[in-house]
Chain A
Amino acid sequence: MIARMAWRNLWRNRRRTIITLVSIAFGFLLAITFTSLSDGSYGQMIDTAARMGTGHVTIEPQGYRDKPGPDLVVRDTGQLADKVRAMPGIENATIRIVGQAMAATSADSTGAGIIALDPESEQGVFFLLNHVVEGQQLASREEKKVIIGSGMARCLDLNLGKKLVLTTTDKTGEIVSGLVRVAGIFSTGVDEADKYIIIVPIDYMRKLLGYSKNEATQVAVYLNDRRDAEEKSHTLAPLAAAYDGTALPWSVMMPDVAGLILMDSIGNYFFQVFIFLLVGAGILNTVLMGVMERLREFGIMLAVGMSPGKLWRMIMTETFWLAVVGLLVSSVLSVPVYWYLHKYGIDTSAWLGNDQVYGGVLFDPLMKAEFYLDHAILIFGGVFILILAAGLYPAFLAARTRPVETIKIL
């Protein structure tokens, strides 16, 4: 019976209730929009960074973080990659050799970062291969062709088909050189990539470095759900160890990106806390007002024999209904908003520019929303609790009213 009465009470002052519902919807929508946009854009950042770099989880030789060098390898990577791919939650695993070398032409020489890979399995996976603007992709794992960045092409005066001498240290520490020709040129607009990175076929690199057929510097693992990275790195650790490797999540491999996401998340978090506080203040205001003006009514009810406890519960039930209706309305309203943001996103290039580079990675100015169930539940729960909490003080006041006093109020 209280439930029905509470429900009716809620609608007695339609205008006020509607205003309150609007506040709730506003707060909820805001929280959902921000959270899903952030989730979407962080997710995209991580994926981009993973594809451009070293996967969501990277298996690399033990000790490599502290002292990287061509002498450290992961063995039997072919077998390892197969085993990794067979595990749940894994989308793909690719094998790479990375290192430093000097790239020289008759004109000049410059330091370069080498990424040696299997062209066939990395098509569509490795970010840079999607940015080849001149020439062609690499055709085989052992040809003596490379893909360089547009910045390096400029510095070394290189064109398609021209030759380049790579000098580096091999597995035993000896200095080795190889002659390669430019098959393609990529351009990302990011200097760190364009001026520095050279993509080399993996088997050619193995020959140059004196690696055996299955040795490599890293296995880049791509996950189905990027949020599992931390957990998966622990799961993969024992497997990696069997092949002389360790498994590291992207947050360790790319601390810049992790840092950026962290900073942004913190900002977001505080922002949403503020909004919630504001909305909470508004709801408190409303409910309080609603109680205040009915003090006389409550006085009579108490005088007639209703227990304070019951009164308290009635107010809380009103608040409960408010929460339910509020969340219902909010959810309904947020569906089209989310759909739009998910499909079309917000194009931030208008005010943030087209070349946002963080930690050496280029990000898409289009922010799209993504829905994570656990975040949604958090918001739901948060709003619900907030509303109920806002009802506590007014309910307490109502229950505490002294009948004689209140009946005296006009």
Chain B
Amino acid sequence: MSRGARPDRTRRRLLAGAVAVGCGVVWRPALALSEVLSGTLRGYTGGAPTREGKVNFDIAPLVENGNTVPITVTVDSPMTAADHVQAIAVFNEKNPQREVIACKLTPRMGRASVSTRIRLATTQQLVAVARLSDGSHWTQTVDVVVTLAACIE
């Protein structure tokens, strides 16, 4: 029957649309690490492989004043003697120097979370890397747009 065919077509279109939206929401492309930062990370980890995850690098995606950018790096870890974060380091791509901060943590901290304020010379990529007590390295990479650059000259 011709009248019955219409609701089928609309339902089919609705289902196809829902599947497409569902796929779009789930798929999140990981940021490609720039070559500069890849090299810096290799130097820091001594060639050991790094994996994305566990690290939450909290920094504003758009920064008004590059002279003081608040950042917080938190690592998902129980911080017990057997399983804790040993070190957290942050590297940048386009400042005159790659290193931003390198921290040593102990289980007596309770939470693997460090906050500070940093300078960013220009729009660039940053990476936070955490070394866990089992020797693994976890990273998170962020892209930051800087409106007013920190004075470097």
Chains A and B belong together in one complex:
no
Q: Which chain A residues have a beta carbon within 8 Å of chain B's beta carbons? A: none
Q: Which chain B residues have a beta carbon within 8 Å of chain A's beta carbons? A: none
